[in-house]
């Protein structure tokens, strides 16, 4: 029986690495060298999809025969992109602005073998509670979510900031939509349920 192709995650994100490890497939993580500057007039969905494909293809070009996963996430409120705050003052201002509002997270995904590409955009809608400045500051001191778009880690204490979360995939908000990814990998011959140690 031919050996399965190697799997590569085109990312340096520890969150995506932790998520992918849930599928119990051996993989390596390689950071892609991709310019993430948005194009003029590019929608958040188009940006996330383009970057996920670009990341996957950039790594696949140097690793022929491998299956490569690329992913990118863009958060928006009222159609305007929301970046990673980087520090406490920006995160404070960001959460003050998002209090009581809905944020859309576009979690784009691409899988390629260097020739064929599958891609998808999984949308998660998060409505923030109305938050006092004291609550925001307490959250930021506890979690320091400065590397997260929207300043909220929904997989951790950030869930307490939310009034509701709507998505077809609960892992999409964290950065790697595993439901869509599992289907894509299976079509590339890497079904996690065919892996050694998976339940019969």
58: helix, strand or coil: helix
Phi, psi of 11 (to 5 degrees): -165, 150
Q: From the candidates 35, 72, 113, 194, give the one annotated as an active-site residue.
A: 72
Name residues whose C-beta falls within 8 Å of residue 144's C-beta, 6 or more positions apart in sequence.
Answer: 88
Nearest to 61 by CA among 28, 21, 33: 33
Any bridge partners for residue 75, and if so which? 82, 105
The neighbouring-strand residues paired with 111 are 69, 118
Active site residue 35: no
Three-state DSSP at 169 gives coil
- What are residue 109's DSSP bridge partners? 71, 120
Give catalytic residue positions.
Answer: 72
């Amino acid at each position: 029986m031919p050996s399965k192709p190697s799997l590569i995650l085109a990312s340096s994100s520890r969150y995506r690495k932790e998520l992918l490890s849930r599928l119990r497939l051996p993989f390596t993580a390689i950071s892609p060298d991709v310019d993430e500057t948005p194009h003029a007039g590019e929608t958040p969905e188009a940006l996330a999809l383009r970057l996920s494909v670009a990341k996957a293809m950039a790594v696949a070009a140097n690793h022929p025969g491998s299956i490569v996963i690329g992913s990118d996430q863009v958060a928006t409120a009222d159609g305007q992109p929301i970046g990673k705050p980087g520090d406490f003052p920006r995160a404070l201002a960001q959460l003050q602005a998002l209090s009581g509002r809905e944020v859309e997270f576009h979690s784009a995904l691409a899988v390629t073998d260097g020739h064929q590409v599958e891609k998808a955009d999984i949308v998660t809608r998060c409505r923030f509670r109305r938050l006092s400045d004291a609550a925001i500051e307490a959250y930021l001191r506890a979690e320091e979510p400065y590397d997260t778009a929207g300043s909220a880690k929904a997989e951790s204490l950030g869930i307490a900031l939310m009034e509701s979360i709507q998505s077809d995939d609960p892992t999409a908000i964290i950065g790697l939509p595993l439901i869509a990814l599992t289907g894509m990998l299976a079509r590339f011959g890497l079904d996690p349920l065919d892996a050694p140690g998976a339940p019969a």
